Amino acid sequence: MKLFVNNKEIEVPASAMEKRIVEFLREDLDLTGAKNACDIGACGACTILVNDEPSRICIKLVKDFGGQRILTIEGMAAPDGTLHPLQQAFLDCGAIQCGYCTPGMVLTGHAFLLKNSHPTRDQIRQAIFKNLCRCTGYQQIIDAIEKAAPHYQREERGLQAASAPEKQTATKNSKATTLAKGEAG
């Protein structure tokens, strides 16, 4: 079985099939950004994106993800370390305190903005409803997602124009991941 994790093809050993995917990512792939904070899918700290949809993976097994396209927080920034505009917005808005919910929040926000790049604050609030944060009261997280929205609007316009000018990371990601999806299909 194969997984497509952060644009990389991963061959899953048979022995790992029954593992929880949160443990597989954290232990076998050393992608420790996804946190396991409740084991029951209640807190969202383990959120990753599966085919661009947020998934709380502490309650899911590796075998459920065959051929799926997975994005973890480690795949958000550019390979050279440049932050994705949404990540940068989290920094700028003071949306990070203890940082434990941050990976799940960023990915949830990313999935949401991919679908709705002109959101209201209420819509953002609704979008992160399943991710718990005990530090921030969510205010600056909502600020950050709102602040990053224009980037996604530009991305959309760029895609509509079907032009291929030099783009920022998110485009690279979404293009590559679209390809991966096709392969998996």
Site for another protein in 38-57 (CB under 8 A): 38-40, 42-43, 45
Cβ neighbours of residue 163 closer than 8 Å, sequence gap 6 or more? none
Q: Using an 8 Å Cβ cutoff, are 27 and 92 in contact?
A: no
Listed ranges 49-57, 61-69, 93-101, 166-174: which one lies at the site for another protein (CB under 8 A): 93-101
Is 78 near another protein (CB under 8 A)?
no
Site string for another protein, 100-119 (x = CB under 8 A): xxxx--x-------------
Q: In this structure, are strands 47-50 and 2-5 parallel, antiparallel, or unpaired?
A: unpaired
Is 140 near another protein (CB under 8 A)?
yes
Is 8 near another protein (CB under 8 A)?
no
Shortest CB 47 distance to another protein, Å: 12
> Nearer Cβ to another protein, position 3 or 105?
105
Cβ neighbours of residue 116 closer than 8 Å, sequence gap 6 or more? 123, 127
Is 83 near another protein (CB under 8 A)?
yes
Q: Using an 8 Å Cβ cutoff, are 79 and 15 in contact?
A: no
Which 3 state secondary structure label does DSSP give 105? Answer: helix
